[in-house]
A and B are shown apart, each in its own frame.
Chain A
């Protein structure tokens, strides 16, 4: 579903961010992406949702090829992906409910289907009672739940999460992580970049480690030197 073929990403000023990356993520998989700051995790995620294009190599996501993109392809791809960030990226002047329904309206979903779906999703992430709250009235964990609900509106094939727990305390981290596991259990693939080694150690999900723009460890790849996830 996600395939990287010898992907290299260079920035005009920043140098090489990713070098010769090849991997694939299967349907329904849960993958941790880890590595020190600046190792290329965010760039790799951006390449998945095509906010960046590879300098060399090829990215395939849900049948779309980075070499053969047409106008509107990226927008259509984003509707099959859910994206969550460390800083939540909610619209501050809209309620939790409006933030979620906004993502559906943007894609031209029929009005009648929006309200029930938004209610169901907010219930799923445990925020049914706060649907009319504004982001500033919510805790970090709650805001991230709203962002996750928003990411799920289009029933994505993959949920991409860039340090989703980076701004959260331990309790909220556990809650958000548990929610991501539940989402994965229902069939959605999850690619989660994180620094939180505790989470990685406790679960036995596939882990890809980046360093200086290269894959230095992939628990699913036997050709790479095996080592204990740090």
Chain B
């Protein structure tokens, strides 16, 4: 209670410094949030493309429908497989005519074979898994050929890997910069009150007692900064969404995580700054 009052006194006494540190925290987290937003959107885009990874097994004309049906049951039971559908020669023809309208005349009845279309579960769409599943499907007698756009899948995965690595590195750098800047502003706040700290010590305040208002202050500044950063990021996202391309925004748990990160950085930054200061005086 007393710590809360001391914290409010500190806010009131140094409104400029308090506002400055909240703004600094907000903009540091905003930069990090923007980066996170870009990473999230790239990820979502890649995930959308990934969903199109499919294996298509062409069935020989001589295949017995019962055999195909039984095999489809087997395939559906593979742990990597999400859905299995049979595309009849007629459906294939119709689809081809629809998608390649200008060649409509080229497609004659019976020109396209029937096929089994296999979609994989998320997490099983990497080139290795796709190839393994394709090989297993190919081992059925009635399967003539298996296609899954091998090169395309490999390329997609390279892009995904590069995006993840770059994302981690940049994200780490942004987070580090945010922590350093926030730590510095909190240090300023502590130094601005060093006289008060020394007086508190003289009259017999324990280190824990001295620390508490600063920790609270750091926590509150972190939360306020986090909220401001979230608002800024949302505004930026809305602008891009309105004028440029569709974007995905953080869901509520990610947003909460961002605010929690602000709170944690504020708290830890204060703890480190006050701790160092108390050890020195």
Contact = CB atoms under 8 A, between A and B. Distances in A.
Contact of B204 (A79, A90, A93): A79
A153 B196 CA distance: 18
A150 interface: yes
A79 B9 CA distance: 24
Provide the main secondary structure of the chain B interface: helix
B2 interface: yes
B202 A154 contact: no
Residue among B199, B200, B201 with the highest chain A CB neighbour number at 10 A = B199
Interface string B199-223: 1111111110100000000000000
B-side interface size class: 10 to 19
Interface string A65-91: 000000010011111000100000111
Contacts of B136: none
Interface residues of A, number: 21
Nearest to A105: B2
Interface in B182-198: 195-196, 198
B13 interface: yes
B206 A72 contact: yes
A106 interface: yes
A78 B203 contact: yes
A107 B13 contact: no
Contacts of B196: 91
Contacts of B202: 49, 78, 83, 89
A134 interface: no
B205 A93 contact: no
A102 interface: yes
Contacts of B199: 89-91
Nearest to B9: A93
Contacts of B13: 93
A133 B205 CA distance: 24
B207 A75 contact: yes
Contact of A102 (B198, B203, B207): B203
Contacts of A79: 203-204
Nearest to B2: A105
A64 interface: no
A121 B48 CA distance: 75
Interface of A: 49, 72, 75-79, 83, 89-91, 93, 102-103, 105-108, 150, 153-154
Query: What 7 A-B pairs are tightest by C-beta distance, nearest first?
Result: A78-B204, A79-B204, A103-B203, A106-B205, A75-B206, A75-B204, A93-B13
Given A89-B195, A102-B203, A103-B204, 10 more contacts: A72-B206, A75-B201, A78-B202, A78-B204, A79-B204, A91-B196, A93-B13, A106-B205, A107-B203, A107-B205
